[in-house]
Amino acid sequence: MELKRKKPRVTSSDFTSSFSAEDSLEELQTLATSAGAVVLDKILQSRSAADSATFLGSGKAEELLAAVQAQNANLVIFDQELSPSQQRNLDKMLDARVIDRTQLILDIFARRARTREGQLQVELAQLTYMLPRLTGQGINLSGQAGGIGSKGPGETKLETDRRRIHIRISKIGREIDAVRGSRSIQRKQRQSVPLATIALVGYTNAGKSTLFNKLTNAQVDADARMFATLDPTVRALELPSRRRVLLSDTVGFIRQLPTTVVKAFRATLEEVCEASLLIHVVDFSSPHWQEHARHVEMVLEEIGARDTPRLLVANKVDLCPNSPTPAGSVGISAASGLGIGALRTAMDVALTLDPLANCRFRISSTDGATLGLIHSGARVLSKTYHDEEIVIEAEAPESLRKRLREYIDITE
């Protein structure tokens, strides 16, 4: 269910807005289908302001009730967040379970979380969202039937009292803080050597996981469901310069991403903030890719990654061959492999950590260990032999140049 509002003012000058209320409702349907629902009908209302009691106008509410009864629907999903009182009133009026967009996204997250960290983050987001909705609700949440919007904490003892929920929230917060501390130690260990981290970011279902698999030969789940990837995955990747980096596949963003989700996943999203380079993947075949990109940029700014260097990647260009890609972007098809070589090169150029430079190495012709180190850690441009010496022209990262500084020829 979507209430059509006046379009908000777009403050970002980087991307244009093309998302209508109808498009938002289509996206909600995709989310519902991803969560396992069967969509029977969609209703749209154009209204300047939401009704404080039922969100809808009285006439539209009657129309919705008739549709629910005619199709024997047991669930109604609203595209915008409902207040606790609106949700209670709609539950009674429609005699069907009523949830909103936030609750739907939280349910999908609960189903997709696999690691203990991810499960904790989802539970924290659910508890924070549900806490104000328990007051005066007068129902036993644990006794509800399973289904969309009820997976996770709703199946345990949320109904006992608010005090226990506060205690649980505090405990989860401490556990996530411990995870954050562990990640901080790991980052410091990584930063002791110049091993850069590159993070894939983008709108959900833009093709990040397919690209991650193509670049690293991993087997990350990469299907068409929204939020198919929830728990971050990291793999090593070698760039054309022979520099080794860590590539991270992260959760996809979405329009109206619930604040509770952003806060709960802050420990994971810190990895995005700490990355040396962000690969912003967009589904270039979507007519709304600019709007999707704008929302990703808004979330990146919210989590403190506004100034992190990034590279825009236009994915699925094979589906729209006559459309020019944005200036400065790299056009690829993660599914077919088109443009992957150019992307690797662009990543090499854009990466500022452990910068590359051309240099000349002079080593003994019998020093096989150093020769092998140069070949494995740098891109050799030329190699010549002089008596008992080998002169190698190479493009080498700073870490290798420091390690082999005694072999660098600084003479003209």
Q: Which of 12-26, 77-91, 144-158, 265-279 has the lowest mean pLDDT?
A: 144-158
Judged against a pLDDT cut of 60, whether residue 110 lies above it is answered with yes
**pLDDT tier at 5, thresholds 50, 70, 90:** very low
CA Rg value for the chain: 26
Tell me the pLDDT of the chain averaged across its residues. 81
Q: Which DSSP state fits 10?
A: P
How far the first Cα of the chain sits from its last, in Å, is 72
More confident residue, 102 or 14: 102
CA distances from 24 to 87, 202, 292 (A): 20, 18, 11
- pLDDT the model gives residue 257: 73
**CA angle, residues 111, 285, 233, in degrees to nearest 5:** 35
Residue 303, phi then psi, degrees to nearest 5: -90, 5
Rounded to the nearest 10°, the torsion over CA 100, 101, 107, 109 is -160
- pLDDT the model gives residue 354: 78
Judged against a pLDDT cut of 50, whether residue 249 lies above it is answered with yes
- pLDDT the model gives residue 3: 39
**CA angle, residues 54, 20, 281, in degrees to nearest 5:** 120
Domains of the chain: 2-103 (3.40.50), 194-350 (3.40.50.300), 356-407 (no CATH)
Closest by CA position to 373, among listed 345, 396, 347: 396
pTM for the full predicted model: 0.72
Name the one residue in this structure whose structure tokens are 């207040």.
Answer: 83
